Amino acid sequence: MDVRLVIKQRLKELGLEQRDLAAAAQVTESYLSQLLRRKKAPPAADRTDLYERMNSFLRLPKGQLSAMVEAQRREDLKKKLADPPAALFKEVRKLVIRKCKVEKQILVRDIFEKQSFGELERLVTQKLLDVTKKIAKDELKNESWLRAVAKLRRRSYEEMRVVILEFLDTDMFNISPDDCYAFLDPMIDSWDIDLGTFGMEIVLNRRLASTQLIRFQFNEVESGIVSREEPGFHEFLRNPAMSGDATEAEMDFLKSLKFRGNRPSALYYYRELQSLRDPLHFAEVPATPVNGRRDSNKADKQLQLDSRKRAIQRWAKNKPNPRKKNNSEPRSKPP
């Protein structure tokens, strides 16, 4: 069933008017009227609190309007995917270039103009849009922020909520000059991109955003580091004498080890496991006594520590003396 028909029918059942619903949803009556008359597409449910407010006011089952809207949007998306992406408005491209770092504007403009909507332009526009929409979504329930932006744009509080709801529902292929002038222009001070790595830096308006600088990195993963289990680790797992008593946490640690060049053997993983368990390799954290109760593992830990110390003492006692003279030289008698 169409979500618009459900809303209209519910208003009639409750004896309410559209202006009552608009006030409860904190939007203008004009915006709500356009939604119900199909002049505007319903915004995505995960980007707005509109449906939560309407659902509560109309006394509908929790999440009903959101579920209906998402189902309807999926059907509309299937139809749109068949159409090729159109180029951006010229005003949008001009704004994106104007916000670019001054010394790179000419180079970026040349790249943008080679294609109607090329890869670099899509990448940059998408990132600027993502950052701006995240700020708008995070601040949607912040009344003081909304009123500050509304004052900056010379709009009422309700009008500003409508503008944000529509902006959150736009995408890279449908962004309009109005969206740019209302959000991208005031929120973004500048942006820069490294054309070698495609890493981006976006500087935000400190009056409208809590974070002034955002960085995006597109890093190349070296071929020498691969996300796969080593053959030695498989051999270690197949040997119960080595891995039989290993815990899940210890297995996760051994599996996460990465190597360049040389490949570790099963013995390496066994020794790494013993090192991980050795208390001498880690700083001891003093335990806080609870009602005088003994730590059940304290005795075992002390036995392991004493055993380790005795092994070190035996090794030190039997260690060859490098200063020992050759057998050919006469030994000096003890005094």
pLDDT in tens, 235-264: 888 888 888 888 888 888 888 887 777 788
pLDDT at residue 236, as a whole number: 86
pLDDT at residue 88, as a whole number: 60
Q: Is the dihedral of CA 84, 89, 90, 96 positive or negative?
A: negative
pLDDT at position 151 over 70: yes
CB distance 202 to 133 below 8 Å = no
pLDDT at residue 210, as a whole number: 77
**CA distance linking residue 257 with residue 37, whole number of Å:** 60
pLDDT at residue 225, as a whole number: 44
Section 309-328 average pLDDT: 59
CA torsion, ordered 145, 150, 156, 157, to nearest 10 deg: -20
Strand partners, 202: 191, 214
Section 4-22 average pLDDT: 87
Nearest residue to 130 via CA among 190, 202, 68, 64 = 202
pLDDT at position 93 over 80: yes
Neighbours of 324 (CB within 10 A): 7
Instruction: Using pLDDT thresholds of 50, 70 and 90, give the confidence band for residue 289.
Output: very low
**CA distance linking residue 32 with residue 58, whole number of Å:** 14
Residues 153-202 have pLDDT tens digits of: 788 888 888 888 888 878 777 788 888 777 888 888 999 988 878 888 99
pLDDT at residue 100, as a whole number: 92
pLDDT at position 222 over 70: no
Burial 129-149 (b: 16+ CB within 10 A, else e): bebbbebbbebbeeeebbeeb
What are phi and psi for residue 216, nearest 5 degrees?
A: -120, 130
pLDDT at position 223 over 70: no
The span from the first CA to the last CA of the chain, in angstroms, equals 108
Instruction: Using pLDDT thresholds of 50, 70 and 90, give the confidence band for residue 291.
Output: very low
Question: Mean pLDDT, the chain, as a whole number?
Answer: 77
**CA distance linking residue 158 with residue 146, whole number of Å:** 9
Section 32-38 average pLDDT: 85
Section 4-16 average pLDDT: 87
pLDDT at position 92 over 70: yes
CB distance 125 to 175 below 8 Å = yes
* Angle between the N-to-C axes of helices 105-114 and 90-98, in degrees from 0 to 180, rounded to the nearest 10: 150
Section 45-68 average pLDDT: 84
- Tell me which of 46-50, 72-76, 212-216, 322-326 is least confident: 322-326
- Report which of residues 98 and 221 the model is more confident about: 98
pLDDT at position 99 over 80: yes
pTM of the model: 0.46
Instruction: Using pLDDT thresholds of 50, 70 and 90, give the confidence band for residue 78.
Output: low
Highest mean pLDDT (candidates 7-11, 113-117, 152-156, 321-325)? 7-11
Section 77-101 average pLDDT: 72
As a whole-number percent, the residues of the chain with pLDDT over 90 amount to 3
Helix ranges (H only) for 45-196 are 50-57, 64-80, 90-98, 105-114, 119-138, 143-153, 157-168, 177-179, 185-187
**CA distance linking residue 17 with residue 164, whole number of Å:** 24
E strand or H helix at 31, and its extent? helix 29-36
